[in-house]
Amino acid sequence: MTENDELRMKIAKLKGWKNFYIKDGYLAGEHELSPKMFVVPNYPESIADCYDLEDEIPEDQRMEYIRQLTLIIKTEYGDKPFNLWTLAHATPAQRCNAYIAWRESQCSNKE
């Protein structure tokens, strides 16, 4: 399983997917809302799939997501300059990791 598949599975689990398997090179799973098996979206490589993730974030929680995304980018960039342009051009994988961090922070806030 690739690093991208692991990210895809982690996000899918957070969104209620289960029973994962790889067949013919595709990562598939079952969503709690349907008994059918579906191909898991390719979040780490698709900016469109990431936009769908970001659209799910409630407006009052978006600043926490942006904070997580900023931390991830700054960690990866090290001493390179960081600005809003850098944030706007975050990669799908960076957005995935920020989404996971945001979701996990929501779970820990409920405890």
| Amino acid at site 23 | K
DSSP state of 25: T
Distance between CA atoms of residues 103 and 69, nearest Å: 12
Alpha carbon of 46 to those of 63, 78, 82, 105, 111: distances in Å?
A: 22, 25, 23, 24, 32
29-78 pLDDT, tens digit per residue, is: 877 766 667 888 999 999 999 999 999 999 999 999 999 999 999 998 88
pLDDT of residue 96: 97
Q: Name the domain count of the chain.
A: 1
Q: What is the pLDDT of residue 27?
A: 83
pLDDT (0 to 100) of residue 107? 75
Task: Name the residue with higher pLDDT: 79 or 45.
Answer: 45
For the sheet with 17-23, list strands across it.
17-23, 26-31, 37-39
Instruction: Identify the domain containing residue 62 by its residue range.
Output: 3-110
